């Protein structure tokens, strides 16, 4: 529960900054990234004996950082670090589902903007709001 609250706060703050400034401050990433390991030890994946899932969450973030580098920034570096930090909080499996839901939501909005608003394929969208909505959807699914 604590993990979900902290991650939700991180994603809400990240969403507002991503929409307003199109970037995520390094200090935000450092603060929530530094909290991830101790919180996971006491309340999350590591406490529950799922160290491998925790490491998979970290690896997932590193893969997205690699994608950012290879794609020359088509996916923002801040977004990749948010994915990595989310992977540390949630573990690899839950983070993968969150990313998948976020990408589906971003794809649907992109198609809508292309068709209805006649935007170009070059239109950039902030990704963290989609991660937040995906995380909230995940929380709702877990409650059901």
> What's the CA angle centered on 33, arms 74 and 101, to 5 degrees?
50
- What is the tens place of the pLDDT at every residue in 76-123? 999 999 999 999 999 899 999 999 999 999 999 999 988 887 777 777
Residues 6+ apart with CB under 8 A from 95: 57, 60, 61, 83, 86, 87, 89
CA torsion angle for 52, 53, 58, 63 (degrees, to 10)?
100
Domain boundaries, given as residue ranges, for the chain? 2-143
pTM flag (> 0.75)? yes
- What is the tens place of the pLDDT at every residue in 2-26? 899 999 999 999 999 999 999 999 9
Integer-rounded Cα radius of gyration of the chain? 15
- What is the tens place of the pLDDT at every residue in 42-89? 876 666 667 888 889 899 999 999 999 999 888 899 999 999 999 999
The 3-state DSSP class for residue 71 equals: coil
> What's the CA angle centered on 59, arms 55 and 61, to 5 degrees?
120
Cβ atoms of 8 and 134 within 8 Å: the answer is no
């Amino acid at each position: 529960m604590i993990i979900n609250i902290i991650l939700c706060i991180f994603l809400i703050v990240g969403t507002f900054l991503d929409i307003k400034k199109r970037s995520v401050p390094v200090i935000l990433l450092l603060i929530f990234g530094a909290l991830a390991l101790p919180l996971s030890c006491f309340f999350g994946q590591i406490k529950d004996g799922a160290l491998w899932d925790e490491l998979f969450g970290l690896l997932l973030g590193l893969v997205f950082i690699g994608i950012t580098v290879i794609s020359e920034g088509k996916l923002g570096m801040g977004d990749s670090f948010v994915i990595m930090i989310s992977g540390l909080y949630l573990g690899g499996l839950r983070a993968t589902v969150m990313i998948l839901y976020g990408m589906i939501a971003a794809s649907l909005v992109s198609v809508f903007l292309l068709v209805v608003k006649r935007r170009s394929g070059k239109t950039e969208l902030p990704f963290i709001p989609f991660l937040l909505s995906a995380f909230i959807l995940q929380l709702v699914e877990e409650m059901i």
